[in-house]
């Protein structure tokens, strides 16, 4: 496979994962804003997902519609869903002959849906949940189409490497900012807050089934970092990353393969041999920072050994 093609598939996939993460997070935070006794603040969201200055964030932190518009359709926001999808589509366009026609069309339709000029108005006037749901469904269609139509070759491996690397980073991000945001007292119980945190990454039902009891910080951390069955956990993402990377083994790129296998193996062990107690002991923020940095190291090594073509 051409290095450039591998690179584009990987980035297309990272951007698609990112757009999905942002849309889900927006949907649940919006729901949460309708449910809050105190005035809901979008600050944590703006903190993780935008580059806004403190004052700019302060200006819109209590205005859900303004935040939604900024995060979904704003052309000036490099991390808006619109801009992320544009990048995903540019990448897809340059590898159109390496993805199925169905996958291309589905991504292309998604792109046109976000570009629809009426969307801005709808976000202003209509029910935001309906709109976000529609967009999320476009994303689900993309995942399903990739799953059902793409051949299980090298391209598929790169798609998934991008997807799970991005997901690992995102889950770490969400957890980190949510907790570090408010000088978190881990002993305090704040049910609404955790409920929405879990909901935003589709982990609420699993939490209830696993822990049955009320909300406890360490359980939430355990599920989002360590649970091997929770598809958004750091552990799950890293395991999948490892599985798909292993599929590149038979290639002639032995040096690069070994280097990256080593790097992913390191994160795997770190996550595997952590317990919630050791994480809390080390400090959640320090732990998550470490994971993120190691994931970025993998990304850089992929650039160097697999995608370099200039």
Partner 1 sequence: MQTTELLNTYFVDSGTWDEMYKDTAVREQYKGVVEFMQQLNVDELNRKEELAKRLFMSQGITFTVYSSGEGIEKIFPFDIIPRIITAAEWKYIEEGIKQRLKALNLFLKDVYNEQFILKDGVVPVEMIYSCPHYLREMHNFPVPYNIYVHIAGIDLIRNNDGSFYILEDNLRTPSGVSYMLENREITKRIFPDLLPKNNVRSVTEYTNILHRNLVSLSPRPINNPTIVLLTPGIYNSAYFEHTTLARLMGVELVEGRDLVVSNHRVYMKTTSGLQQVDVIYRRVDDEFLDPVVFNPGSMLGVAGIMSAYRKGNVAIVNSIGNGVADDKAIYTYVPSMIRYYLNEEPILKNVPTYHLDNLEEREYVFGNMNKMVIKKTNESGGYGMLMGHTASEEEILRYKVEILKNTREYIAQPIISLSSSPCYMNGKLQPRRVDLRPYALCGPEGIQIVPGGLTRVALREGSLVVNSSQGGGSKDTWVLAG
Interface residues with partner 1 (CB under 8 A)? 1-4, 6, 75, 90, 93-98, 101, 104-105, 108-109, 112, 154, 248, 251-253, 306-307, 309-310
CB of 253 to partner 1, least distance (A): 5
Shorter beta-carbon distance to partner 1: residue 165 or 271 = 165
What is the distance between the alpha carbons of residues 66 and 75, in angstroms, rounded to a whole number? 14
Query: What is the smallest separation between the CB atom of 93 and partner 1, expressed in angstroms?
Result: 5
Q: Where are the beta strands (DSSP E) in 37-82?
A: none
Element (H, E) at 112: helix 101-115
User: Which one, 131 or 248, has the nearer CB to partner 1?
Assistant: 248
Residue 93 or 285 with smaller CB distance to partner 1: 93
Cα end-to-end span (Å), the chain = 16
Nearer Cβ to partner 1 (286/310): 310
Identify the three-state secondary structure at position 215: coil
Nearest approach in angstroms of CB 24 to partner 1 is: 25
Q: Rounded to whole angstroms, how far apart are CA atoms 270 and 278?
A: 11
Per the document, the length of the chain is 310
State which residue, 157 or 226, has the beta carbon closest to partner 1: 157
Kindly state the smallest distance separating residue 56's Cβ from partner 1, in Å. Answer: 22
Q: Quick check: 111 and 103 in contact, CB under 8 A?
A: no
Residues 167/235, Cβ–Cβ less than 8 Å: no
How near is the Cβ of 245 to partner 1 at its closest, in Å? 12
Long-range contacts of 66-74 (CB under 8 A, 24+ apart): 67/26, 67/42, 68/26, 68/30, 68/123, 68/128, 68/132, 69/120, 69/123, 69/124, 71/22, 71/26, 71/45, 72/23, 72/26, 72/114, 72/119, 72/123, 72/132, 72/135, 73/114, 73/119, 73/120, 73/123
Rg (CA), the chain: 20
> Nearest distance from residue 4's CB to partner 1, in Å?
5
Taking the complex as a whole, the smallest distance from the CB of residue 15 to partner 1 amounts, in Å, to 15
DSSP 40: P
Q: Which residues of 158-195 are buried (b: 16+ CB within 10 A; e: fewer)?
A: bbbbbbbbbbbbbbbbbbbbbbeeeeeeeeeeeeebbb
Cβ-based nearer residue to partner 1, 58 or 253: 253
Whichever of 97 and 183 has its CB closer to partner 1, that residue is 97
Q: Given the complex with partner 1, which of 68 and 161 has the nearer CB atom?
A: 161
Nearer to partner 1, 81 or 217 (CB): 81
Q: What minimum distance in Å lies between the beta carbon of 76 and partner 1?
A: 11
Q: Nearest approach, Cβ of 260 to partner 1 (angstroms)? A: 12
């Amino acid at each position: 496979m051409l290095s450039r093609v591998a690179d584009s598939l990987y980035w297309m996939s990272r951007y698609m994962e990112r757009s999905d993460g942002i849309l889900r997070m927006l949907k649940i935070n919006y729901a949460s804003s309708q449910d809050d006794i105190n005035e809901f603040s979008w600050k944590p969201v703006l903190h993780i997902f935008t580059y806004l200055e403190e004052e700019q964030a302060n200006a819109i932190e209590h205005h859900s519609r303004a935040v939604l518009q900024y995060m979904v359709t704003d052309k000036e926001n490099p991390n808006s869903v619109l801009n992320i999808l544009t990048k995903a589509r540019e990448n897809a366009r340059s590898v159109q002959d390496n993805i199925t026609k169905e996958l291309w069309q589905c991504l292309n339709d998604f792109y046109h849906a976000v570009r629809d000029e009426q969307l801005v108005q709808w976000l202003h006037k209509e029910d935001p949940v309906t709109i976000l749901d529609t967009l999320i469904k476009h994303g689900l269609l993309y995942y399903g189409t990739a799953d059902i139509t793409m051949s299980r070759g090298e391209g598929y491996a790169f798609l998934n490497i991008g997807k799970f690397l991005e997901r690992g980073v995102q889950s770490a991000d969400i957890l980190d900012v949510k907790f570090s945001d408010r000088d978190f007292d881990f002993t305090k119980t704040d049910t609404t807050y955790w409920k929405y945190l879990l909901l935003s990454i589709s982990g609420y039902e699993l939490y209830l089934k696993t822990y049955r009891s009320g909300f406890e910080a360490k359980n939430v951390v355990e599920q989002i970092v360590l649970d091997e069955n929770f598809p958004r956990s750091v552990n799950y993402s890293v395991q999948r990353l490892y599985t798909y990377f292993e599929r590149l083994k038979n290639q002639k790129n032995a040096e690069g393969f070994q280097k990256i296998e080593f790097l992913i193996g390191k994160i795997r062990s770190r996550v595997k041999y952590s317990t919630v107690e050791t994480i809390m002991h080390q400090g959640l923020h320090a732990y998550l920072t470490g994971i993120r940095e190691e994931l970025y190291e993998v990304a850089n090594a992929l650039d160097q050994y697999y995608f370099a073509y200039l």
